[in-house]
């Protein structure tokens, strides 16, 4: 009897506090409780936008190659630490050139993902501001060809 392929879950990762939280929250809720029979194939994707001013200053060919290497190393180091701690295996990690919103939606299509997970900075922009400045999570919620789950890190209440 052939085994059915697991549905794919894509998670956007950008080294930020929100994406760290989104990754750990996702693992805790969708993977750790089901070990070792995880319900999804997890694909972590990190978009690197090469036209960033700092990268351009380093020179075109060298900067692009080095930026990819450094970014890939950071993503792999960070995610591998978390995967080992949570005992999660067989995760695909991709570093792709481009703007995050486009890369995430393209990765969803490439892997035929059934779910996209993104973090959110929690700024809560109003409707007018969102007309002019759309965050990655807003864009993906509108354009990704799958369900999108936005994981928001709880704010710490200060007394």
* Tens digit of each residue's pLDDT (9 = 90 or more) over 55-65: 555 566 666 77
Spatial separation of the C-alpha atoms in residues 64 and 44, rounded to whole Å = 21
pTM of the prediction?
A: 0.82
Pairing label, strands 41-48, 115-120:
unpaired
| CATH superfamily, with its number, for domain 8-127+147-151 | HUPs (3.40.50.620)
Asked if residue 121 has pLDDT above 80, the reply is: no
Q: What are phi and psi of 41, to 5 degrees?
A: -90, 120
Going by pLDDT thresholds of 50, 70 and 90, the confidence category of residue 72 is confident
3-state secondary structure 101-117: HHHHHHHHHHHCCCEEE
Look at 1 and 19; give whichever has higher pLDDT: 19
């Amino acid at each position: 009897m052939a085994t059915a392929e697991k549905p794919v879950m894509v998670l956007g990762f950008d080294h930020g506090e929100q994406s760290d939280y989104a990754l750990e929250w996702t693992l805790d809720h969708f993977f750790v409780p089901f070990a070792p029979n995880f319900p999804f194939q997890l694909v972590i994707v990190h978009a690197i936008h090469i036209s960033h001013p700092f990268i351009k200053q380093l020179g075109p060919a060298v900067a692009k190659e080095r930026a990819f290497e450094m970014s890939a190393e950071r993503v792999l180091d960070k995610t591998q630490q978390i995967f080992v701690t949570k005992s999660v295996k067989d995760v695909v990690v991709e570093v792709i050139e481009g703007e995050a919103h486009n890369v995430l939606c393209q990765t969803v299509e490439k892997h035929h993902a059934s779910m996209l997970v993104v973090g959110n900075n929690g700024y809560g922009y109003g409707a007018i501001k969102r007309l002019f400045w759309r965050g990655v999570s807003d864009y993906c919620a509108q354009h990704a060809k799958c369900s999108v789950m936005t994981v928001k890190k709880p704010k710490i209440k200060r007394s």
